Amino acid sequence: MARFQPFVMERMMSKFEKAVEYNLSESGVHPVTFKELIQGVPGALDRLLATEMDYAHANGIPELRRNIAALYAGAGPENVLVTVGAIEANYDILAALVAPGDEIVVMLPNYMQIWGMAKNLRADLKTFPLAEKFGWKPDLDKLRKAVTKKTKLIAVCNPNNPSGYILTREEMEAVVETARKAKAWILADEVYAGAERVAEEETPSFYGMYEKVLAVGSLSKAYGLPGLRAGWVVGPAKIVDRIWARHEYITLSVSMLSNHLAAIALSPEVRPRLIRRARQYIRRGYPVLEEWMKGQGDIFSLTPPQAAAIAFVRYKLKVNSTKLAARLREEKSVLIVPGDHFGLDHHLRISFGLPHEILRPALGRIRDLFVELRK
Ligand SMILES: Cc1ncc(COP(=O)(O)O)c(C=O)c1O
């Protein structure tokens, strides 16, 4: 059997997120209820009750594709493929574009799906870093060095998981310029766009900056709807059709109910309410995390995340992050993601986009473990 690179973080979360008392491993905000989603939307319940449990359009119902396309300047429904979460969008894109031996360049740290898939596809994997010592700014020289004429695809995550860094316009242009020179595709995973902590402006998409961009989005993070399992890719119609051909092999379509609920979520009437809600969780949760960090002396340091509901905190103890996370889980029933999962030990990824009554006691338990470790 071929060597297989497991998705280490998702394996850990799949196994333990429902088993612990406090789950601080999620990167999105506290989830929306069905009631909250459809409340105040005229006719929504009747519409759902009347929906036939048929196969949906394999590429997404037209209303949903129209609502998604409206988020990207210059895009139409023919540019959109609806997938089972952003995770399927990323998967299908790689399946369509990357063959064994193809060179791909991935931003690190990152949600490690594309990194792991590149290994499983036997691609020639190169990376470029976001530099923590420069507030997680991308090292563009390293990007330029990594990209060659053979580079097929450059994968970025903006806003970034786990650092919450948002690329500046100049940095985005530099990525585009580098890709253009190599005629490489840009896979822009933009699932945290809309979940900005400080800025009011939504993070702009790479879509429209260059003709070879595939922009990936999802309802899981900025909309608080991970359980709908609805994501998408937006790109040139011809290549979206090729990606769709992979989608047919693996999921065929997103469920009919999810298609309708996603269309409601992304309607101009509901979308602003969901974005406001996510930002509220992020903006109210962050000061609690910050205050908690200050209460631990100088053990923690953090570049404040500009977006997403996660903080990638560095700690000063000589304890490995995987071991620390395991103790936290076993002894305190709290799940967080160890820095090891991003190739950066001595960090912890901690969610904070949660109600205070969950966040405060969970952080209290992490503090208790750190008190014990320091003794
Ligand atoms: C950067 C990034 N991309 C994709 C995903 C997968 O999201 P979805 O729930 O839409 O499949 C995640 C989930 O954490 C993520 O952080």
**Which pLDDT belongs to residue 375?**
87
Instruction: Return the residue whose CA atom lies nearest to atom 11 of ligand 1.
Output: 85
218 C-beta closer than 6 A to ligand 1: yes
231 C-beta closer than 6 A to ligand 1: yes
Mutate to test the pocket of ligand 1, among 94, 165, 191, 233 (most ligand atoms within 8 A of CB): 191
Instruction: List strand residue ranges (DSSP E) for the chain, in order.
Output: 22-23, 80-83, 103-108, 124-131, 137-138, 151-157, 185-189, 213-218, 231-234, 300-301, 310-315, 334-335, 337-338, 347-351
**Which pLDDT belongs to residue 59?**
98
Cα(110) to ligand 1 centroid in Å equals 11
Q: Give the distance from CA 55 to its chain's centroid.
A: 27
194 C-beta closer than 6 A to ligand 1: no
pLDDT, tens digit, 9 for 90 and up, residues 236-290? 999 999 999 999 999 999 999 999 999 999 999 999 999 999 999 999 999 999 9
**Which pLDDT belongs to residue 207?**
98
Residue 99 has which token pair?
Answer: 């063959």
Mutate to test the pocket of ligand 1, among 87, 114, 130, 337 (most ligand atoms within 8 A of CB): 87
Cα(164) to ligand 1 centroid in Å equals 14
Atom of ligand 1 nearest to the CA of 218: 10
Cα(184) to ligand 1 centroid in Å equals 23
Cα(264) to ligand 1 centroid in Å equals 21
86 C-beta closer than 6 A to ligand 1: yes
pLDDT, tens digit, 9 for 90 and up, residues 120-137? 999 999 999 999 999 999
What pTM did the predictor assign?
A: 0.98
**Nearest-5° Cα angle at 176, 173 to 181:** 125
- Whether the per-residue pLDDT at 305 is higher than 80: the answer is yes
**Segment 194-202 mean pLDDT:** 98
Atom of ligand 1 nearest to the CA of 308: 16
Upper half-sphere CA count for residue 83 (Cβ side, 13 Å): 29
- Decide: residue 262, CB within 10 A, 0-12 exposed, 13-18 middle, 19+ buried: buried
Atom of ligand 1 nearest to the CA of 230: 10
Mutate to test the pocket of ligand 1, among 161, 190, 254 (most ligand atoms within 8 A of CB): 161
- Whether the per-residue pLDDT at 1 is higher than 80: the answer is no
CB 40: neighbour CB atoms within 10 A? 10
Question: Which strands make up the sheet holding 185-189, listed edge to edge?
Answer: 80-83, 231-234, 213-218, 185-189, 151-157, 103-108, 124-131, 137-138
Mutate to test the pocket of ligand 1, among 221, 247, 351 (most ligand atoms within 8 A of CB): 221
Residue 98 has which token pair?
Answer: 């990357």
Cα(87) to ligand 1 centroid in Å equals 6
What is the architecture of the domain spanning 50-269? 3-Layer(aba) Sandwich (3.40)
Query: Where does 8-33+272-374 sit in CATH, by number?
Result: 3.90.1150.10
pLDDT, tens digit, 9 for 90 and up, residues 30-84? 999 999 999 999 999 999 999 999 999 999 999 999 999 999 999 999 999 999 9
Q: Which residue has the tokens 């750190």?
A: 370
**Which pLDDT belongs to residue 2?**
81
CA neighbor of 195 nearest in space, from 162, 159, 230, 168? 159
Instruction: Return the residue whose CA atom lies nearest to atom 16 of ligand 1.
Output: 111
Cα(86) to ligand 1 centroid in Å equals 5
Cα(28) to ligand 1 centroid in Å equals 9
Yes or no: say if 150 and 103 are a contact pair by the CB < 8 Å rule. yes
Q: Is the dihedral of CA 134, 137, 141, 145 positive or negative?
A: positive
pLDDT, tens digit, 9 for 90 and up, residues 159-195? 999 999 999 999 999 999 999 999 999 999 999 999 9
Domain edges within the chain: 8-33+272-374, 50-269
Q: CA separation (Å) from 147 to 104, 140, 231?
A: 8, 11, 28
111 C-beta closer than 6 A to ligand 1: yes
Cα(310) to ligand 1 centroid in Å equals 13
Q: CA 261, CA 2: separation in Å to the nearest integer? A: 39
